[in-house]
Amino acid sequence: MVWNVRGAGSKKFPGIMKDLVKIHKIEILVILEPRISGNTALNVIKKLGFSKYHVVDANGFSGGLWMLWNELVSCIDIVAYSRQSITALVKMNHGDWLFTAVYAHPCPGIRRQLWNYLDGIASASNLPWMIAGDFNELVNNSEKCGGNPFSHRGGLVDWIDRNQLIDLGFIGAQFTWCRQNDNGVLTWERLDRGLSNIDWRHKFPEAFVRHLPRVKSDHCPLLISLQSSHLPCANVKPFRFQAMWLLHPTFRSFVAEKWADCT
């Protein structure tokens, strides 16, 4: 699982995180933008129940990445890290592969440094490679709804093309991030995603990314599964409700009217 939590310092955070780990049987957990560092971060990490971890500290209230795993379940070596990424070598019985977790900086200029850095990771290895996280950038205008018009500002598309990466797609909500401005205007964007090179996709043809419901953060957690057996059961029809309807001015009267019709 990869999740931009927008702060891991609250008292409720460890409980929320442990519940998600238990429900989804998470083997590798990546937390982005924890907004805490040093001993404060370590105290939270120790409550999450993982035996191993690697931390890139936040810079004040900005950035930061944590990668956590259990050594008895996952064999992982951290091979590279920067202010915006952590790269791990994942060792499996049928072959090793690279996993890079990303928190791309909101500033396009600093974000461009990340693309150049990851170019180096790609050129230094011929292993299957998967990259996931918050890229803070969009690929096309279908990945945005509301707010200012879409514009290419960074270089994500060029970086994807240079390295011949594949978008792993998703199951679930179309957008991974939502925010409401002071005027009440909602903006929805797909800032978080999973990518891979062709070798990784061939190695894990059934792998998929699932956008879990937003909780606590304005970002959805990304649940990345390597096997199709972890797909949600098609026969189970969960209750679904679009929270945006609560903002509609006639929502309450409409529900009251329809409810009365059923009684």
Give residue 239's pLDDT: 42
Residue holding tokens 């993982």?
50
Residues 25-45: pLDDT tens digits? 999 999 999 999 999 999 999
The secondary element (H helix, E strand) that includes residue 91 is: strand 85-91
Instruction: Assign a CATH topology to domain 2-237.
Output: Deoxyribonuclease I; Chain A (3.60.10)
Give residue 236's pLDDT: 45
Give the domain ranges of the chain. 2-237
- Burial of 148: CB neighbours in 10 Å, binned 0-12, 13-18, 19+: exposed
Question: E-strand spans in 192-239?
Answer: 192-196, 208-211, 222-225
Residues 110-141: pLDDT tens digits? 999 999 999 999 999 999 999 999 999 999 99
Low-confidence ranges of the chain (pLDDT < 50): 234, 236-240
Give residue 237's pLDDT: 47
Burial code of 222-261, b = ≥16 C-beta within 10 A, e = fewer? bbbbeeeeeeeeeeeeeeeeeeeeeeeeeeeeeeeeeeee
